[in-house]
């Protein structure tokens, strides 16, 4: 999944951002993204170059080192070291993978091969999709109320968006409980990573879906605005609704123009 350009948020498709305020919402997403980035290097490949920012992983490495008690190496004598080896090992592997993914992202950003070129904000392809594609397709019948008939709905294999939003965080939570039971701080770190990853992927998925649906809504809204304009010019009555959108007043026409991002 590749990143999409920033899109103005509005109350209709982003009530959470409208509720807590856009600047605060963006700050929360940024903080969640920074902390969750430590997990995606384990789960994914073809990660965008701007996702693999060096300062983020340097910060995460220092935090993990402090959490693990690894600073004892410099602050205490050898016999008094009390380090969480699981956290230190995790930090070292994360650092190695971060360097690898950064170099790969840089190479794929600058490649001349159109089939391999990578968006710099791409959030990566999941390794788990190899397993998902090996699962035989499985569908269940679901009643379609509008057309009054049953239609098959695919359950397996799940989409990559579902893997990144649900399955990857679930794996992190399970591993987090395992390490917590063993008394390692790595357990808490993995659970925190799972929560942050879920928030970031949900935000990304919402933006991607809204941008996709906007194309369909814009087609309908342009028809409605055209019908309102024609009705006003010819002074003819207009249907109460057109394709599910109420068409009652000049105020609504201006509202629709703003919804499309134009000036009324």
Among 228, 236, 220, 232, CA closest to 253: 228
Q: How far from chain centre, in Å, is Cα 175?
A: 21
Among 2, 257, 26, 260, CA closest to 117: 2
Distances, alpha carbon 246 to alpha carbons 33, 128, 152, 258, in Å:
39, 45, 33, 16
Q: What is the pLDDT of residues 147-177, one digit of tens each?
A: 677 777 776 677 888 899 999 999 999 999 9
Let me know: does 65 contact 88? Beta carbons within 8 Å: yes
What is the CB neighbour count within 10 angstroms for residue 95?
Answer: 17
Task: Decide if pLDDT at 25 tops 90.
Answer: no
Let me know: does 161 contact 1? Beta carbons within 8 Å: yes
What distance, in Å, lies between the first and last C-alpha atoms of the chain? 35
Q: Which helix (H) or strand (E) holds 184?
A: none
Distances, alpha carbon 252 to alpha carbons 223, 245, 249, in Å:
14, 10, 5
Let me know: does 229 contact 223? Beta carbons within 8 Å: no
User: Buried b vs exposed e over 27-36: b needs ≥16 C-beta within 10 Å?
Assistant: ebbeebbbbb
**Which of 63-67, 208-212, 228-232, 248-252 tops mean pLDDT?**
63-67
Provide the 3-class DSSP secondary structure of residue 149.
strand
- Lowest pLDDT segment from 137-141, 161-165, 247-251: 247-251
- Lowest pLDDT segment from 48-52, 80-84, 120-124, 217-221: 80-84
- Lowest pLDDT segment from 183-187, 197-201, 226-230: 226-230
Let me know: does 109 contact 46? Beta carbons within 8 Å: no
Cis peptide before 58 (omega within 30 of 0): no
- The phi, psi pair for 48, rounded to 5°, reads -60, 150
Residue indicated by tokens 């963006």: 26
β partners of residue 139: 154
Task: Decide if pLDDT at 187 tops 70.
Answer: yes
- Please give the pLDDT value at position 214: 78
pTM of the model: 0.75
Domain spans of the chain, in order of start: 15-259
């Amino acid at each position: 999944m590749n990143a999409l350009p920033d899109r103005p948020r509005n109350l209709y498709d982003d009530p959470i951002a409208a509720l807590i305020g856009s600047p605060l919402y963006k700050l929360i997403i940024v903080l969640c993204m920074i902390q969750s980035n430590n997990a995606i290097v384990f789960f994914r490949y073809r990660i965008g170059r701007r996702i693999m920012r060096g300062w983020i992983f340097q910060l995460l490495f220092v935090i993990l080192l402090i959490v693990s008690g690894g600073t004892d190496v410099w602050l205490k004598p050898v016999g008094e070291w009390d380090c969480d080896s699981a956290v230190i090992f995790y930090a070292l592997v994360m650092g190695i993978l971060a360097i690898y993914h950064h170099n790969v992202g840089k190479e794929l950003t600058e490649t001349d091969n159109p089939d391999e070129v990578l968006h710099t904000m791409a959030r990566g392809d999941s390794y788990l999709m190899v397993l998902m594609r090996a699962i035989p397709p499985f569908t269940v019948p679901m009643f379609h109320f509008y057309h009054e008939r049953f239609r098959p709905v695919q359950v397996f294999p799940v989409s990559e968006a579902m893997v990144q939003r649900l399955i990857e965080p679930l794996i992190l939570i399970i591993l987090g409980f395992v390490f917590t039971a063993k008394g390692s701080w790595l357990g808490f770190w993995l659970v925190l990573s799972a929560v942050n990853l879920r928030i970031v992927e949900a935000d990304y998925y919402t933006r991607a879906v809204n941008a996709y649906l906007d194309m369909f809504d814009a087609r309908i809204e342009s028809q409605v605005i055209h019908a309102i304009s024609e009705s006003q010019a010819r002074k003819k009555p207009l249907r109460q609704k057109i394709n599910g959108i109420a068409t009652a007043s000049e105020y609504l026409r201006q509202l629709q123009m703003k919804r499309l991002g134009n000036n009324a």
